[in-house]
């Protein structure tokens, strides 16, 4: 088996595989893998004709990530399981629920962590903030529009420097140390935006940069926002950004993925406040082990089928 650290040279190989999978999980974007390659210690594994990603989760679990829809190839799934067992991986991850039956011939248990799950919202919801539960979002959007003279520009070479300045300001006001936040990953994404075909926007208040967003298509129906940074001194900036980005940059997509909250209470509270339409669960598949007694898991035993 061949093993290499994930590098940009792998994009030509891996990005098309991820596009073929067509699931909304944010990990299935090569840009996400690449910009967080050091954080998760990503490696590319090649076994025969098959490719996999080896990674390390935020809670320090070694995992093997499929690069093919497990419903399409029993041979691929068999090799995935073999490597996972022989190399003693903690889990196969991330696995959407619809793939779990493809693993039924092997003993396993599966679980998921809420902090891993992606938040998905209909594009229409973010464009209008409808209903009673989102009235505060509508009010903050109106306040931003009333207090300032706003406009939006697509990210280009001639305005990217303004987003880098905003990112520095955001980090300076953050409670997280630079090495613990996503500062470096976001900066690299901004600098290599065109190289990775990312789409972004910068938002102005009275002709002054007040925030930016950057993301890409993760599946034909879903646009994922990888980074969203705003200057909270401008009241309503995030409500304005999500609304205008959905309106101008997510047309043609049914849903917007705001990714996971990583167990950070502030992120969780914010993302829940926009009333997600669904959560994209990322199952952890464990082989050769028994499910914890107090764990909320799905067990599969082939002898019972």
Q: Are strands 150-154 and 118-122 parallel, antiparallel or unpaired?
A: unpaired
Residues present in the chain in total = 305
Written out in words, the top-level CATH class of the domain with range 118-280 is alpha beta
Show pLDDT as tens, one digit a residue, over the chain (305 residues). Answer: 999 999 999 999 999 999 999 999 999 999 999 999 999 999 999 999 999 999 999 999 999 999 999 999 999 999 999 999 999 999 999 999 999 999 999 989 999 999 999 999 999 999 999 999 999 999 999 999 999 999 999 999 999 999 999 999 999 998 888 778 999 999 999 999 999 999 999 999 999 999 999 999 999 999 999 999 999 999 999 999 999 999 999 999 999 999 999 999 999 999 999 999 999 999 999 996 555 544 455 554 433 43
Q: What is the residue extent of each domain of the chain?
A: 2-113+282-304, 118-280
pLDDT score of 177: 83
Token pair listed for 232: 């909270």
Q: 180 φ, ψ to 5°?
A: -95, -20
pTM over 0.75: yes
Q: Are 91 and 286 in contact (CB under 8 A)?
A: yes
Q: Which long-range contacts (CB under 8 A, 24 or more apart) does 18-22 make?
A: 18/67, 20/68, 20/69, 21/67, 21/68, 21/69, 22/69, 22/219, 22/220
The DSSP symbol for 129 reads -
pLDDT score of 180: 83
Q: How far apart are CA 69 and CA 273, in angstroms?
A: 33
Q: Which CATH superfamily is domain 2-113+282-304 in?
A: Gcn5-related N-acetyltransferase (GNAT) (3.40.630.30)
Q: Under DSSP, is residue 113 helix (H, G, I), strand (E, B) or coil?
A: coil
């Amino acid at each position: 088996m061949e093993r290499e650290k994930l590098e940009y040279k792998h994009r030509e190989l891996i990005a098309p595989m991820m596009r073929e999978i067509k699931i909304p999980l944010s990990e299935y974007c090569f840009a996400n893998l690449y910009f967080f390659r050091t954080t998760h210690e990503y490696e590319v594994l090649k076994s025969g004709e098959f490719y996999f990603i080896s990674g390390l989760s935020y809670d320090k679990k070694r995992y093997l990530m499929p690069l093919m829809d497990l419903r399409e190839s029993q041979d691929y799934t068999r090799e995935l399981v073999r490597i996972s067992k022989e190399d003693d991986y903690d889990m196969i991850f991330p696995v959407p629920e619809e793939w779990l039956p493809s693993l039924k011939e092997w003993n396993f248990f599966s679980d998921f962590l809420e902090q891993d799950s992606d938040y998905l919202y209909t594009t229409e919801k973010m464009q209008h903030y409808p209903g009673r539960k989102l009235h505060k979002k509508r009010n903050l959007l109106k306040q931003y529009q009333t207090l300032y003279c706003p406009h939006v520009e697509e990210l280009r070479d001639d305005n990217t420097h303004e987003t880098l300045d905003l990112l520095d300001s955001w980090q300076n006001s953050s409670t997280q140390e630079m090495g613990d936040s996503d500062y470096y990953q976001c900066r690299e994404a901004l600098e290599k935006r065109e190289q990775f075909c990312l789409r972004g926007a910068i938002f102005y208040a009275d002709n002054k940069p007040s925030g930016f967003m950057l993301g890409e298509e993760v599946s034909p129906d879903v646009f994922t926002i990888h980074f969203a940074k705003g200057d909270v001194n401008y009241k309503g900036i995030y409500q304005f950004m999500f609304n205008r980005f959905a309106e101008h940059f997510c047309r043609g997509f049914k849903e917007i993925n705001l990714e996971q909250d990583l167990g950070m209470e502030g992120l969780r509270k914010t993302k829940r406040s926009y009333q997600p339409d669904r959560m994209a669960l990322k199952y952890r598949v464990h082989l050769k082990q028994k499910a914890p007694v107090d764990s909320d898991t799905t067990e599969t035993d082939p002898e019972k089928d």
